[in-house]
Chain A
Amino acid sequence: MATTPYNYSYIFKYIIIGDMGVGKSCLLHQFTEKKFMADCPHTIGVEFGTRIIEVSGQKIKLQIWDTAGQERFRAVTRSYYRGAAGALMVYDITRRSTYNHLSSWLTDARNLTNPNTVIILIGNKADLEAQRDVTYEEAKQFAEENGLLFLEASAKTGENVEDAFLEAAKKIYQNIQDGSLDLNAAESGVQHKPSAPQGGRLTSEPQPQREGCGC
């Protein structure tokens, strides 16, 4: 009875990184709005999206920061990595160059976030099978070698988009559960939300059990 059924108890901060044009903004948009943006302008700055998801019965609010992929903004976008609980590192399966740059993105992600930050590799544009330039297998291997979660997804069809965000959240939640992610540690990227003030009622005063006719 104590739970607030629709309110969230955690906030996870996510960042989405990767070369320009790989579909970061489209992934975010698909996740928050369930829509595909066919002609999405380049992100010149940092955008936000939020959505509440459920992991193991816990409501979690994801606060997602979509960064600009253009190289010239790299120095500035780096400053947004701090305090991320999850990082979605995206490449475009139809453009090998975006895959080749992953190691540099990964270096940034590792250096600028805390060791517990969950990084998930996403091969986007999986709908363009005909133009595939990076095989699933090699990316999978890259992910395994670097201890990353991995999924191929399509911001266009929506395939695996939910999963990408959810898998990362599950992993973060698991880290919280098994204690490997210390919420009090610097920059965990997870915020445990104290109950909403009004919500305190039931928690502090368990409802008396009503029984029988009361006479």
Chain B
Amino acid sequence: MDQSVAIQETLVEGEYCVIAVQGVLCKGDSRQSRLLGLVRYRLENDVQEHALFLYTHRRMAITGDDVALDQIVPLSKDFMLEEVSPDGELYILGSDVTVQLTTAELRLVFQLPFGSHTRTFLQEVARACPGFDPETRDPEFLWLCRHRCAESEAESPKPREWNSDPGTRSGFAPIGGGRYQSWNARRGLEDVLPRGPGYILLWGGATKEPEFLLAEEVHEGGPVRGPRARGGRRDEALEEADWEMSAGGGSRERDCAGGYNVDSSRPNGRGLLPLDQSSGARCPDKPENSLTRQNRSKAEITDMVRSSTITVSDKAHILSMQKFGLRDTMVRSHLLQKEGEYTYIQNFRFFVGTYNVNGQSPKECLRPWLSSDTKAPDVYCVGFQELDLSKEAFFFHDTPKEEEWFKAVSESLHPDAKYAKVKLIRLVGIMLLLYVKQEHAAYISEVEAETVGTGIMGRMGNKGGVAIRFQLHNTSICVVNSHLAAHTEEYERRNQDYRDICSRMQFSQVDPSLPPLTISKHDVILWLGDLNYRIEELDVEKVKKLVEEKAFHTLYAHDQLKIQVAAKTVFEGFTEGEITFQPTYKYDTGSDNWDTSEKCRAPAWCDRVLWRGKNISQLSYQSHMSLKTSDHKPVSSVFEIGVRVVNEELYRKTLEEIVRSLDKMENANIPSVTLSKREFCFENVKYMQLQTATFTIHNGQVPCEFEFINKPDEETYCKQWLTAKPSRGFLLPDSHVEIELELFVNKATATKLNSGKDTIEDILVLHLHRGKDYFLSVTGNYLPSCFGSPIHTLCYMREPILDLPLKIVNELTLMTVQTADDRSQLEKPMEIPKELWMMVDYLYRNAVQQEDLFQQPGLRPEFEHIRDCLDTGMIDHLCANNHSVAEALLLFLESLPEPVICYSAYHSCLECSGSHTASKQVISTLPTFHKNVFSYLMAFLQELLKNSAKNHLDENILASIFGSLLLRSPAGHRKLDMAEKKKAQEFIHHFLCNPL
């Protein structure tokens, strides 16, 4: 889950969350989850500033409302985020990464999850750190003011101070200096870290030397760091920054986009306009790009064709899209691969014509040339050469002839259809016109036109070529009109011109990041023009004679183009149809007579049409003798060309399939594990008797991090009597880990289980990061025990606790001390718990002379035996070491939910510990059963003291042992305050040496 999205929602215009990571903030022993977001802000002049925003958050932050800004740490010059190895711990692959954040004011330690995301995060932060170069302007962080209100005043200094001269704030106390003390102490750093100004100046400019020294000491034990290490790191960061800049505007624009989005989503509270819509509104002249094709009126289409930048076909449009993210790139490449599945071939009729007009204006109707076919062509490609031979045209690139011929052509297009002009391109006298039937206009896209001059100096436009490339449905087509070098002997020049045109003709792509297209990269190439190849080695008269005889085959053998093509020196891969018309050059203007001028040129097939590509068949190839305007005759060729047409339905289907397969991939990438066991039953759980169960997590193919997570409103992932070991971890693909569930009921949990307020029942949620959650159910039953039962409850149990129905045990456990006293008249409870009596009696009978009683540990298995005897009432079977029974007695007292001297009496006991009378007075206020127990125990202890010669016990030892058991602080401190402890002993002491 990308949590930067949630953070982005909390930001304002101009701020952009570059990357976010979820980590654990370690303060002393406390661990709190934080979302760390690297936020970039762009000022004018392309200057950027960064800050780390720390958020508290809900488990899975999805929206801005799931996070709350806690603290902002600007990436000032003194900012540092470095990986440290936790002290004394071995680095374990897959374990959390511990990082330390240092600035002049504070120092925080985080644990970040293992993995590449954390790596990327750290790299991004390193990259965002301002350089150390004194030349660069110090960041000011004025923009952070906006967030100040959200933070508590104490948490951060005023924005100005972030970067004011360190000297001016020498009195400024380090933020959190006190708070992090415990952490420092843990690492034994206290003495090397002076507080106050010196500390603040760490890494500061003025007092460099000592500071660096200090820093080295700080990092002792960790990786070596010092000025050099740091310097190196900086250089790297700078280099990377440079690289980013030179990598182009990408990142800058990225920011704008982010900013724009925030802009539109924040101030007016609407935030609903998806990005594309809002920016679509900014360029209203662009046609819609929705995937469903719109029905547009014909007029609109003609217009669009004229503007010739339309992107109408879904496919064409999509294929021309820039690279967006990996997903898009993948979809696009899949679409290309599967083109065959959603396209079919449809034939289109192409008219290709070429006419060298010898600088003339149109004088006759062009229909005989352009509309001689019975069927109206779908596409017209009409080329002219020598449109204008004047100097003006040559030098000023402007000619009235362009309009004249364009009009003449437009008027002579086939009368059976309506056409739209797609494009007109001209280089001096070389002009190419492209028309399509109006109904096809919507399927023309990516129209580009270019020119290449090969004339004088190899550049000028008196010779050369022009070309138009476009996409018709899904087929890319390039039409070239060229006028190559003249003169019979210059065929090598003509070949060279061809090669020049091929190499220099480059069409830019819609996506500027893609290399430009060349002529050869098209599905269909149509090449027409005055190619100027002549008939060689035959004298003029011979040629004329052969023409007259229509012995074209004999002439072919002498046609330079045929010869050159056969020699593969030019037009490689191109085809030309059979020529069945007489040479189109050179005639006396206004007639069909061969040139009678002085030069008396030999007739030649100068004007030609060639093609390259699949699914192309030539229907006709002819000249048009009736046109007499020029010394050339126009040539035409009609083709039937198979074009790839998108079947909308199949296209949608294919697209859907691709998107689906990507979705599936994504679903397959959700981490998933199998658990060897999900139900755990712990039967007959007993007090302080460990039970364990194990299960195995087998990972699937995706690396995953697992963790038992808390259920809502619960502080821990499971009940207090349960632990899972380990409770979190990282699994590589196909690996597994064994988890041990340990169930252990102790004094903290026993009472609730006895009362039925708690049961051995729990659901653990095993969460996979970015993946599923698994529920594990734990069930079982607890065998109630006298351990953990209140004194008065036990007094009311005349039978062994395990012989009583569970309901009664529950009820009696829930009974309050007051009720117990009130009920005593009626139910004749015992004066003290029989279990207490059993243990004391056992000791009285067997252990009064036992050496070191209460000072030697018991045996574990014996404790379990004693517990069972007490709970089942089989006291006669009790057979144990004296020390074990003595310890059981102490454990019994310790497990009492309400100590013998009730919590409420604790403080009065300590107060009057100086006086025996007063102490007795307090005891008399205790509830009856507690009073009884107290007196009973004191009597027993006094009995023991009578044998002190044997058992080596004295008042002090006993007061010390029993003081802290009978008198327990209501505050629940584990370790008593020494003074309180002393008083408690003193209190008990009275009852040991004075008669009861």
Contact = CB atoms under 8 A, between A and B. Distances in A.
A203 B276 contact: yes
A44 B775 contact: yes
A2 B772 contact: no
Interface string B751-764: 00000000000010
Contact of A197 (B249, B254, B308, B662): B254
B974 to A, nearest CB: 32
Interface in B510-544: 510
Contacts of A210: 308-309, 448, 508
A112 B865 CA distance: 50
A40 interface: no
Interface in A147-164: none
B324 A204 contact: no
Contact of B275 (A2, A48, A76, A185): A2
A204 B253 contact: yes
B272 A179 contact: yes
B91 to A, nearest CB: 32
Contacts of A209: 285, 307, 309
B480 to A, nearest CB: 14
21 contacts: A1-B311, A3-B280, A9-B276, A45-B766, A45-B773, A54-B291, A57-B290, A79-B712, A80-B773, A191-B62, A192-B9, A194-B261, A201-B253, A201-B254, A203-B260, A205-B253, A210-B448, A210-B508, A213-B449, A213-B466, A215-B451
B279 A203 contact: yes
A48 B771 contact: yes
A98 interface: no
Residue among B283, B324, B325, B426 with max Cβ neighbours from chain A (10 Å): B324
B65 interface: yes
Contact of B670 (A48, A196, A203): A48
Residue among A1, A185, A215 with max Cβ neighbours from chain B (10 Å): A1
The contact size tier of chain A is 35 or more
Contact of B663 (A52, A187, A188): A52
A199 B667 contact: no
B726 interface: no
B134 interface: no
Given A200-B257, A206-B282, A76 B765 contact: yes
A37 interface: no
B775 A68 contact: yes
Contact of A52 (B291, B659, B773): B659
B711 interface: yes
Contacts of B62: 11, 13, 83, 189, 191
B165 interface: no
B127 to A, nearest CB: 14
Given A2-B283, A203-B275, A203-B276, 5 more contacts: A6-B324, A44-B775, A183-B272, A198-B323, A205-B249
B215 interface: no
B583 to A, nearest CB: 32
A166 interface: no
B227 interface: no
Contacts of B711: 75-76, 79
A191 B255 contact: no
A57 B277 CA distance: 11
Interface in A7-27: 7, 9-11, 13
Interface in B669-701: 670, 678
A6 B327 contact: yes
B771 A32 contact: no
Contacts of A212: 449
B477 to A, nearest CB: 18
A6 B331 contact: yes
B328 A4 contact: yes
B805 interface: no
A152 B440 CA distance: 44
Nearest to B265: A192
B372 interface: no
Interface in B239-280: 249-251, 253-258, 260-262, 265, 269-272, 274-276, 279-280
B508 to A, nearest CB: 8
A32 B274 contact: no
A34 B777 CA distance: 32
Contacts of A202: 279, 322
Nearest to A197: B254
A34 B272 CA distance: 32
The 8 closest A-B pairs by CB, nearest first: A200-B257, A3-B276, A204-B256, A45-B774, A200-B254, A79-B712, A196-B325, A9-B274
A50 interface: yes
A117 to B, nearest CB: 14
B425 interface: yes
Contacts of B254: 197-198, 200-201
A48 B666 CA distance: 11
Contacts of A213: 424-426, 449-451, 466
B774 A44 contact: yes
Contacts of A4: 276, 324-325, 328
A201 B276 CA distance: 12
B510 A176 contact: no
A205 B279 CA distance: 10
B274 A46 contact: no
